[in-house]
Chain A
């Protein structure tokens, strides 16, 4: 049985790397005594993956785990077991769906990430957003470890709004071009000659590679078994 599970991570767990987070989920599931499917081979490991890596220091209210179980387990039972496990307060289970066995890995399906970027010294953020929206294309120097190339940032943004001190933006998080919140801030700042530094970034949601913004749980809500978001353990 294959499931997609959504978790919210405790604040301080923004300081652990993607690999360490992966291991922490794995051990959480083992403590919860979930029937984990193990890979074949010399060194059996669980069949699971985390949807999207995240820079160190960000918060996450949307961790998604793609997990294969060796036997079927009602999601309500899975939720109960997680709720009784040490450490569940740090990885709070928000909901899950049963997905088809042949489904592509969730990591390959996720295309967009919604961030909440706190800007204590906002300035002309609204003006920058307006300019960004008005431009036909927004040239941006994208630096990777290997190269620097000029790209158009316009199609890398799906939605943005600035409310209070919080800039909420849905950015591309899939190849070929990822736009990180810090890069997005530099880009916006350059439009109005300002420099912004965020003291707090929260990953709010992930969306799939679809025409509309659809979350991983929403895609499977119509059919099969699911535990709605908001289910609290």
Chain B
């Protein structure tokens, strides 16, 4: 039952079902009967957070432990948040309507940098001190994980621990320590010490950043000798049915991805040099088709969903994709269940497979050549040619697709206006085949990629290049041109490679009202710039400055397994526009992850030791 205090707010907010829980497959354990309680927090609204596969995986992994319970919580939209403040309702979990402050562990996922202020906001709404050092014995441990955890330094002041890698592999180790700690009455510091010994766990407060006299970052010093100097990620060695959430919580309201998300493999070894996920989720580990078909049947039985989406970093690269798709279509089409392929490779095979499964009208497909010229595609190791793209488009047209969306990135390392001219030429040729939407985002250098040393072009340079393209595409009625705001990409670049000093900026921006920064209607760039000025940090020096190989980087105490030498070598090859192969189908490129982690690539064809 919804408590009266909460219920009285519901008639006054938009989409009240965001706040009521009670969905099919939600797990409501007796809070007195479990030993460890975890609230999984997604720092965005319900519809976004509920679409996230990682949340479903962790929710299952924790609730499968008999002694633990996982509940969910999301950022309330601003209307609900102000009513909650007014009536002194603290942020609560959707399963048992418990205030978040009651939990043993509060875990936030770090999916994108622009969600950081929402974490502070949710802590604030929960009545939990935002700064880790201010928290008392009774407060929950604040844990973060997810892609941005590979550089969590900007959040170091606020979190108690950072988890690297695949959460379901490490969460039981963490919760076991918390459980024992509670049983023997261990204090917070002692619990953190015990947790810091777990592989994959980083406790920021046990480390101290050092800066040079010119204020550049010098390195991170462990405060005790026993602490690991490098924190390695955790990774599931081989994936099976137990890693698939076959009973996901079924929302009442329409969410962003309202369908079965069937993860078909983890990792991607294509080696696109801008892509952080491609480096950090290695090695490639496929689920077998037999497991996937079984999981799909269970998921449909438990949810009643009418669509299964095959999720992964590059779905078409599953080594048995054609048979898998055929099996799923055979099993489900008579039951009115559609199969969808969200990420297509730029080739004719992908397009024809997409056409085969498209039960709905073949309205459009999305392809991502990423860069306009062959030279620049070679720089980023995106192994796509213009002729393959045009052939795929012709194929799409003959198969009945009516429009195409093309993704490009602007401001990639070494990009010149000659590359933009080639992009325009390619767009023009593509538009002669099918009507286009051209979506252009801006390159954001990410830690643990070969481009982690690169500068991001200044906002002015980016805007000039956006205008250059827009001017030249304006008259072409076959092309719809959309692009991302340069300011949001700039801020992402600042935080993606930021250091611990940015924590002060976050607090200052939050104090000035910044939240939901990923939502354009709430993004206040002026407030962010005021926050930088107030703290006395130069945002541009984070985003627009090239790093040296000899320079200490604020994230180097963390490791996804891919070696720095490999990343540097890849950077050199990028500058020479030399390609690197995919180890899942070709030779080992010695990126280092398998030896560092003691794991190997697993495809349906076998293991590659």
Q: State the A residues within 8 Å of B (CB).
A: 10-13, 15-17, 19-20, 23-24, 26-31, 33, 36, 38, 42-46, 56-57, 86-87, 90
* Residues B306 and A42 in contact, CB atoms below 8 Å apart: no
* Residues B10 and A15 in contact, CB atoms below 8 Å apart: yes
* Residues B304 and A26 in contact, CB atoms below 8 Å apart: yes
* Residues B22 and A12 in contact, CB atoms below 8 Å apart: yes
* Residues A27 and B305 in contact, CB atoms below 8 Å apart: yes
Given contacts A36-B336, A38-B336, A87-B24, is CB(A27)–CB(B250) below 8 Å? Answer: yes
* Residues B304 and A28 in contact, CB atoms below 8 Å apart: yes
19 A-B residue pairs with Cβ-Cβ distance under 8 Å, sorted by A, are A11-B1, A16-B17, A16-B252, A16-B253, A20-B17, A20-B252, A23-B254, A26-B304, A26-B306, A27-B305, A27-B306, A28-B304, A29-B304, A30-B304, A31-B304, A36-B336, A43-B361, A45-B336, A57-B10
* Residues A90 and B303 in contact, CB atoms below 8 Å apart: no
Given contacts A16-B17, A36-B336, A42-B360, is CB(A30)–CB(B253) below 8 Å? Answer: no
The complex places the Cα of A27 from the Cα of B2 at a distance, in Å, of: 24
Q: When A and B form their complex, which 6 residue pairs have the shortest distance between CB atoms, in order from nearest? A: A27-B304, A30-B304, A87-B24, A15-B16, A31-B304, A16-B252
The complex places the Cα of A87 from the Cα of B361 at a distance, in Å, of: 32
Task: Give the nearest-CB partner of A10 in chain B.
Answer: B22
The complex places the Cα of A19 from the Cα of B304 at a distance, in Å, of: 16
Task: Give the nearest-CB partner of B8 in chain A.
Answer: A199
With a cutoff of 8 Å between Cβ atoms, the chain B residues found around residue A38 in the complex are 336
Tell which of B300, B301, B336, B359 touches A42, judged by Cβ atoms closer than 8 Å. B359
* Residues A86 and B2 in contact, CB atoms below 8 Å apart: no
Judge if B313 is at the interface, Cβ distance under 8 Å.
no
* Residues B336 and A46 in contact, CB atoms below 8 Å apart: yes
B243-289 interface with A by 8 A CB criterion: 250, 252-254
* Residues B336 and A13 in contact, CB atoms below 8 Å apart: no
* Residues B17 and A15 in contact, CB atoms below 8 Å apart: yes
B278-322 interface bits toward A, Cβ cutoff 8 Å, 1 = contact, 0 = none: 000000000000000000000011111110000000000000000
Task: Give the nearest-CB partner of B247 in chain A.
Answer: A86
With a cutoff of 8 Å between Cβ atoms, the chain B residues found around residue A56 in the complex are 11, 16
* Residues B360 and A43 in contact, CB atoms below 8 Å apart: yes
B474-523 interface with A by 8 A CB criterion: none
Q: How many residues of B contact A (CB 8 A)?
A: 26
If A15-B10, A16-B253 are given as contacts, then 15 extra A-B residue pairs at C-beta distance below 8 Å, sorted by A number, are: A13-B22, A13-B252, A15-B17, A15-B20, A17-B253, A19-B254, A28-B304, A30-B304, A30-B305, A31-B301, A42-B360, A57-B16, A86-B25, A87-B24, A90-B24
Quick one: which of A10, A27, A36, A46 has the most chain B CB within 10 A? A27
The complex places the Cα of A136 from the Cα of B284 at a distance, in Å, of: 79
The complex places the Cα of A174 from the Cα of B360 at a distance, in Å, of: 34
With a cutoff of 8 Å between Cβ atoms, the chain A residues found around residue B359 in the complex are 42-44
With a cutoff of 8 Å between Cβ atoms, the chain B residues found around residue A26 in the complex are 304, 306
Task: Give the nearest-CB partner of A55 in chain B.
Answer: B11
B522-569 interface with A by 8 A CB criterion: none
B299-354 interface with A by 8 A CB criterion: 300-306, 335-336
Task: Give the nearest-CB partner of B18 in chain A.
Answer: A15
Quick one: which of B1, B250, B361 has the most chain A CB within 10 A? B250
With a cutoff of 8 Å between Cβ atoms, the chain A residues found around residue B25 in the complex are 86
With a cutoff of 8 Å between Cβ atoms, the chain A residues found around residue B303 in the complex are 27, 31
CB distance from A185 to the nearest CB of B (A): 15
The complex places the Cα of A11 from the Cα of B2 at a distance, in Å, of: 9
With a cutoff of 8 Å between Cβ atoms, the chain B residues found around residue A46 in the complex are 336
* Residues A42 and B361 in contact, CB atoms below 8 Å apart: yes
The complex places the Cα of A12 from the Cα of B17 at a distance, in Å, of: 8
Task: Give the nearest-CB partner of B333 in chain A.
Answer: A44
The complex places the Cα of A24 from the Cα of B336 at a distance, in Å, of: 16
CB distance from B474 to the nearest CB of A (A): 35
With a cutoff of 8 Å between Cβ atoms, the chain A residues found around residue B16 in the complex are 15, 56-57
CB distance from B300 to the nearest CB of A (A): 8
CB distance from A1 to the nearest CB of B (A): 18
CB distance from A42 to the nearest CB of B (A): 5
Task: Give the nearest-CB partner of B258 in chain A.
Answer: A23
CB distance from B91 to the nearest CB of A (A): 18
The complex places the Cα of A36 from the Cα of B250 at a distance, in Å, of: 20
Task: Give the nearest-CB partner of B360 in chain A.
Answer: A43
With a cutoff of 8 Å between Cβ atoms, the chain A residues found around residue B302 in the complex are 31, 86
The complex places the Cα of A13 from the Cα of B17 at a distance, in Å, of: 8
With a cutoff of 8 Å between Cβ atoms, the chain A residues found around residue B300 in the complex are 30
With a cutoff of 8 Å between Cβ atoms, the chain B residues found around residue A28 in the complex are 304
B363-382 interface with A by 8 A CB criterion: none
CB distance from A22 to the nearest CB of B (A): 11
CB distance from A45 to the nearest CB of B (A): 7
Given contacts A38-B336, A57-B16, is CB(A30)–CB(B2) below 8 Å? Answer: no
The complex places the Cα of A12 from the Cα of B303 at a distance, in Å, of: 20
Quick one: which of B24, B300, B304 has the most chain A CB within 10 A? B304
With a cutoff of 8 Å between Cβ atoms, the chain B residues found around residue A10 in the complex are 22
B14-34 interface with A by 8 A CB criterion: 16-17, 20, 22, 24-25
B55-91 interface with A by 8 A CB criterion: none
CB distance from A63 to the nearest CB of B (A): 14
* Residues A90 and B22 in contact, CB atoms below 8 Å apart: yes
CB distance from B393 to the nearest CB of A (A): 22
CB distance from A118 to the nearest CB of B (A): 14
* Residues B252 and A44 in contact, CB atoms below 8 Å apart: no
The complex places the Cα of A31 from the Cα of B23 at a distance, in Å, of: 14
The complex places the Cα of A132 from the Cα of B25 at a distance, in Å, of: 48
The complex places the Cα of A45 from the Cα of B335 at a distance, in Å, of: 10
